């Protein structure tokens, strides 16, 4: 019997035993990781440097970009390191930290998207009250609450998961994922964690219903706007958020609610890659392509950076 008392490490899923394919996986993950971090850093920098974007919507967007960087930074670098060093190991404490911070960022992401829906509701359905309701102090409190509740959620799930004795240390996933860890349980104590999962589903369902009802009111208000330009502007601020939320909800729900197989599954791996990598990669693209203010801010920032570089080079005397 393999008990968690003797578990000092876990063995993660290896993409391949062929060294060339391991290096290919390392290269692909490195390119994706650098691209995702760069894309989200561009959004953060654009919002921070352009005073015209110092509004609640873009403040929330900046925090969303931070969460996306955190999500992939928890799992991708460890997988790259394992591929580079031809190993599958992760320490017990490393696995605990990975579960904690991954859930922290994922939960914060979801709660922040709910807050962003409320922000759009106030902006479109009650525009005269917007500055009073979504003032600076209120926005900071909302974001602080999102981060705090996300951390509480992560601690609760992590405690429930690692209170369970494990009969194996072989995780059929490239990082420590809760559904895969629960399959290693030796006793019925995992039912406690199942209870936490059910509670999470109920909370998530509540947020989902809130967002759906919110957008019904938003679209009803938008359709009442007499000018075509006004309707287009309103839709341009809502559609990116709606696309991001829908993608997030579908991928995470499919990953966590479908039955997991007892053997390594390419389908499980593909679904996990979608919600871990695709979401943080698409968020800056969706917001940049669908939002004129963000595009203008990024263009202005890049032009300023180009001018600064040219002036630096021209001012350097050989």
The span from the CA of 300 to the CA of 309, in Å, is: 14
Give residue-wise pLDDT tens across range 190-208.
666 677 777 777 888 888 8
Instruction: Please check whether residue 150 is in contact with residue 105, taking contact to mean a CB–CB distance below 8 angstroms.
Output: yes
CB atoms within 10 A of CB 155: 13
Pure H helices in the chain: 19-49, 56-85, 92-125, 130-133, 136-162, 178-182, 190-223, 228-257, 266-273, 279-290, 292-314
The span from the CA of 171 to the CA of 75, in Å, is: 14
pLDDT of residue 307 exceeding 90, the answer is: no
Q: Flag whether 305 is in a domain.
A: no
The span from the CA of 22 to the CA of 24, in Å, is: 5
CB atoms within 10 A of CB 184: 20
Q: Flag whether 154 is in a domain.
A: yes
Q: Flag whether 312 is in a domain.
A: no
Q: Flag whether 316 is in a domain.
A: no
Domain that includes residue 134, residue range: 4-291
Under DSSP, the state recorded for 185 is B
Instruction: State mean pLDDT over 113-124.
Output: 90
Please state the φ and ψ torsions of residue 261, each to the nearest 5 degrees. -85, 160
Domain count for the chain, please give it.
1
Output the pTM of the full model.
Answer: 0.85
The span from the CA of 67 to the CA of 113, in Å, is: 11
Q: Flag whether 59 is in a domain.
A: yes
Q: Flag whether 141 is in a domain.
A: yes
Q: Flag whether 57 is in a domain.
A: yes
Q: What is the pLDDT of residue 306?
A: 67
The span from the CA of 56 to the CA of 141, in Å, is: 12
Instruction: State mean pLDDT over 67-84.
Output: 91
Q: Flag whether 10 is in a domain.
A: yes
Check which CATH number belongs to the domain holding 10 and give it: 1.20.1070.10
pLDDT of residue 55 exceeding 60, the answer is: yes
The radius of gyration of the chain from alpha carbons, rounded to an integer in Å, stands at 22
CA angle 107–236–64, rounded 5-degree value: 20
- Grade residue 267 by pLDDT with cuts at 50, 70 and 90: confident
Instruction: Please check whether residue 290 is in contact with residue 233, taking contact to mean a CB–CB distance below 8 angstroms.
Output: no
The span from the CA of 93 to the CA of 90, in Å, is: 8
Q: What is the pLDDT of residue 318?
A: 42
């Amino acid at each position: 019997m393999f008990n968690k008392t003797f578990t000092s490490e876990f063995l993660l899923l290896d993409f391949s035993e062929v060294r060339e394919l391991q290096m290919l996986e390392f290269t692909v993950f490195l390119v994706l990781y650098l691209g995702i971090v760069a894309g989200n850093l561009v959004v953060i920098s654009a919002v921070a440097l352009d005073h015209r974007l110092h509004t609640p919507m873009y403040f929330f967007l900046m925090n969303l970009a931070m969460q996306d960087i955190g999500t992939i930074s928890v799992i991708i670098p460890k997988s790259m390191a394992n591929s580079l060093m031809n190993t599958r190991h992760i320490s017990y404490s490393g696995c605990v930290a990975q579960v904690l911070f991954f859930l922290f960022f994922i939960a914060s992401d979801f709660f922040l998207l709910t807050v962003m829906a409320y922000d759009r509701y106030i902006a479109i359905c009650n525009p005269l009250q917007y500055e009073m309701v979504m003032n600076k102090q209120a926005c900071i409190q909302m974001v602080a609450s999102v981060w705090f509740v996300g951390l509480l959620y992560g601690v609760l799930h992590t405690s429930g998961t690692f209170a369970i004795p494990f009969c194996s240390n072989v995780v059929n996933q490239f990082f420590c994922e809760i559904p895969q860890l629960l399959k290693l349980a030796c006793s019925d104590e995992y039912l406690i964690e199942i209870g936490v999962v059910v509670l999470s589903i109920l909370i998530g369902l509540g947020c989902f219903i809130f967002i759906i009802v919110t957008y019904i009111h938003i679209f009803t208000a938008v359709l009442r706007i007499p000018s075509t330009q006004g309707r287009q502007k309103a839709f341009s601020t809502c559609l990116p958020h709606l696309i991001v939320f829908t993608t997030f909800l579908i991928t995470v729900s499919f990953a966590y609610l479908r039955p997991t197989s007892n053997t390594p599954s390419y389908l499980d791996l593909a679904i996990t890659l979608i919600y871990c990598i695709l979401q943080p990669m698409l968020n800056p693209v969706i917001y940049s392509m669908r939002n004129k203010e963000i595009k203008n801010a990024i263009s202005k920032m890049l032009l300023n950076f180009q001018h600064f570089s040219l002036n630096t080079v021209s001012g350097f005397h050989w």
